[in-house]
Structure 1
């Protein structure tokens, strides 16, 4: 039986995925850039295969990011959250990353605030409809 992935490997893998999606790079394209298959990139992103230090440097170069960025927001050892909340899961999902990247590309702060208010209003409407249906 294989041991569960280490929390650091999972964190680094999720960060690779986020940075790759934000740069609109496919797993195949990233794999081609660093000399591995897209399946290997999938395994790195899931944390099921550990990324070597040299490969992490290669991936950072391919994505044009600082290698240290893969370790930002890393929980101290012994405090890792093995049960992410639904919002944490959404943030690292494809939709979450793409939505965040698109939202951050909007330069007008007033437009961003209006979008947030719109989404909050829609969520409030759906909550109210759900309560009425029960």
Structure 2
């Protein structure tokens, strides 16, 4: 095992901070909300997320609990509940908004549309299935205004 150089340690701090930020955004939490849950200032969260301040093992365990992951997740260890492999803010926002859609039929139609647009092998099958199952209007307003038409 080779010794860890200072520059390597700083890179790990930045990686942990970036994954912390991604997970916070995915859960729809603000820096203030995470800070309140940990009993620290939002400025400290900013410093953690940029890698400016190193996170102790104990604090990392607390952060992991608030962000609903295991501590190893911050180091890239694959675990249940891990979000898609992209750090793109658009992907994070897409996942967050999709998870808020309560109507299963609307979600099914959107999945078929995404598969079709992405050129997935089963996109045509999913699209055909979606056409066989007409969507009904959604009674609740928790789906961002989608009325059941895909």
> TM-score when scaled to structure 2?
0.55
Size of the alignment, in residue pairs? 103
Q: State the structure with more CA Rg.
A: 2
Structure 1 gap segments, 5+ residues each? 75-87, 121-134
1:62 corresponds to: 66
Identify which of structures 1 and 2 has the higher relative contact order when contacts are C-alpha pairs closer than 8 Å and 6+ apart. Answer: 1
Q: Provide the C-alpha distance between the structure 2 equivalents of 1:94 and 1:29, rounded to a whole number of angstroms.
A: 19
The structure that is helix-richer by fraction is 1
Structure 2 gap segments, 5+ residues each? 1-5, 79-84, 120-150
Q: CA deviation at 1:92?
A: 3.2
Q: Provide the C-alpha distance between the structure 2 equivalents of 1:116 and 1:105, rounded to a whole number of angstroms.
A: 19
2:74 is paired with a residue of what secondary structure? helix
1:14 corresponds to: 18
Taking the TM superposition and a 5 Å limit, the aligned residue runs for 1:1-134 are 6-72=10-76, 91-92=86-87, 94-103=89-98, 108=107, 111-115=110-114, 117-118=116-117
After superposition, the C-alpha distances for 1:41-69 in whole angstroms (9 at most, x for unaligned) are: 01111111111111101111112221111
- Alpha carbons of 1:12 and 1:112: their partners in 2 closer, same or farther (altered >3 Å)? same
- Alpha carbons of 1:53 and 1:25: their partners in 2 closer, same or farther (altered >3 Å)? same
> TM-score when scaled to structure 1?
0.61
Q: CA deviation at 1:103?
A: 4.2
